[in-house]
Amino acid sequence: MESRDIEIRQHFHKKRLQHFHDCPSTIVIDELGVSHGKKRADIAVLNGTFHCFEIKSSKDSIVRLPEQLSEYSKCFEKISIISAPNHIQKIMAILPPWCGLIVATKGAKGAVAFKTIKRPRKNPNLEVTAIAHFLWRKEIIELLTTLGIEEKKLNQSRERLYQLIPPTLTAQELIQWVKNKFMSREDWRVASQQRLCDD
């Protein structure tokens, strides 16, 4: 049966992500902007790992998927594609070996079932600057201050501030910082819980 993004999304939240929603040390975000909004990850889960889930319903096109994967691979530790059955073969042909794949099948009564075809592995292509794009300007300044960057150097555009990030800072260390900042954005967590209750 034909499926829509919203159907797959709602069922995936309830069937696969409910335990993350219930975990106080995890944040789940719908439509997370990537590269300053250049792309939007359908669902992002941030706990011990930063995991992106991209949805392709039966009505969606996968033409943009290679470009999306290129952007996502710069900033997410794991990536999984959730796809309707009609796209599976084409997606398998373009999917990087470390990406995961989940088939989403809609039943006659409208329920969506999920089956993991391929589990994701750690992404080897992370870029620190791309991860830093998730931070607001004031958060980048706080990060740089913590790392010992002089205050007089911090009155710059966000793009220039990225260039001040020391090369010794690892992607994993920055992801932990991003997680802490996301967790402190209380309106994000409230919105996430409200969306779940409204489903």
Residue 133, burial from CB neighbour count under 10 angstroms (0-12, 13-18, 19+): buried
Q: What percent of the chain has pLDDT over 90?
A: 83
pLDDT at 191: 47
* Residue 189 clears pLDDT 70, i.e. is over it: no
89 and 172 in a single domain? The answer is: no
Q: Are residues 107 and 58 in the same domain?
A: yes
* Structural domain harbouring 172: 128-183
133 and 41 both lie in a single domain: no
Domain count, the chain: 2
88 and 149 in a single domain? The answer is no
Q: What is the CATH number of the domain that holds 65?
A: 3.40.1350
Residue 62 lies in a domain: yes
What pLDDT is stored for residue 144 in this prediction?
A: 97
The reply to whether 105 and 135 lie within a common domain is no
Residue 37 — very low, low, confident or very high, per pLDDT cuts 50/70/90? confident
Report whether pLDDT(186) > 70: no
Residue 191 belongs to a domain: no
pLDDT over threshold 90, residue 35: no
Based on the fold, state whether residues 95 and 68 are members of the same structural domain: yes
Give pLDDT tens digits for 81-136: 999 999 999 999 999 999 999 999 999 898 999 999 999 999 999 999 999 999 99
115/163 same-domain check: no
pLDDT for 190 equals: 46
Q: Where are the alpha helices (DSSP H) in the chain?
A: 5-15, 18-21, 65-72, 88-94, 128-132, 137-146, 158-162, 171-184, 186-198
CA 1 remoteness from chain centre: 27
Residues 14 and 41 both lie in one domain: yes
- Is the pLDDT at 195 greater than 90? The verdict is no
